[in-house]
Amino acid sequence: MAANYGLSGTFDGSEFHLTIGPLIITGFSDGDAVTVTRSQNLAAYRNGLDGATGRAIILDKSGTVEVRLLQTSSANDDLSALLNLDSLFLEGRTAYPISVTDFSGRTVLAASQCWLETLPPVAFSTAAVGERVWTFRAADLEMFIGGNN
Question: What whole-number distance in Å separates Cα of residue 38 and Cα of residue 65?
Answer: 9
The separation between CA 120 and the C-alpha centre of its own chain, rounded to angstroms, equals: 15
For the stretch 26-78, pLDDT in tens is: 999 999 999 999 999 999 999 999 999 999 999 999 999 999 999 999 999 99
pLDDT for 99 beyond 90:
yes
Q: How many residues does the chain have?
A: 149
Question: What whole-number distance in Å separates Cα of residue 109 and Cα of residue 19?
Answer: 11
Q: Whole-prediction pTM value?
A: 0.88
CA atoms within 13 A on the CB side of 39: 13
pLDDT of the residue at 93: 81
All domains in the chain, ordered by first residue: 13-144 (2.30.110)
Q: Which helix (DSSP H) or strand (DSSP E) does residue 57 occupy?
A: strand 53-57
pLDDT of the residue at 7: 86
Provide the 3-class DSSP secondary structure of residue 77: helix
pLDDT of the residue at 97: 97
Bigger pLDDT: 83 vs 75: 75
Mean pLDDT, range 8-34, rounded to an integer? 93
pLDDT of the residue at 2: 65
Question: What whole-number distance in Å separates Cα of residue 59 and Cα of residue 139?
Answer: 11
pLDDT for 122 beyond 90:
yes
Non-local (6+) Cβ contacts of 116 within 8 A are 79, 82, 83, 86, 134, 135, 136, 137
**What is the residue-averaged pLDDT of the chain?**
93
Phi-psi region of 17 (alpha: psi -120 to 50; beta: other; left: phi over 0): beta
pLDDT of the residue at 92: 73
Provide the 3-class DSSP secondary structure of residue 23: strand
Split at pLDDT 50, 70, 90, the class of 1 is low
pLDDT for 118 beyond 80:
yes
pLDDT of the residue at 5: 81
Please check whether residue 82 is in contact with residue 61, taking contact to mean a CB–CB distance below 8 angstroms: no
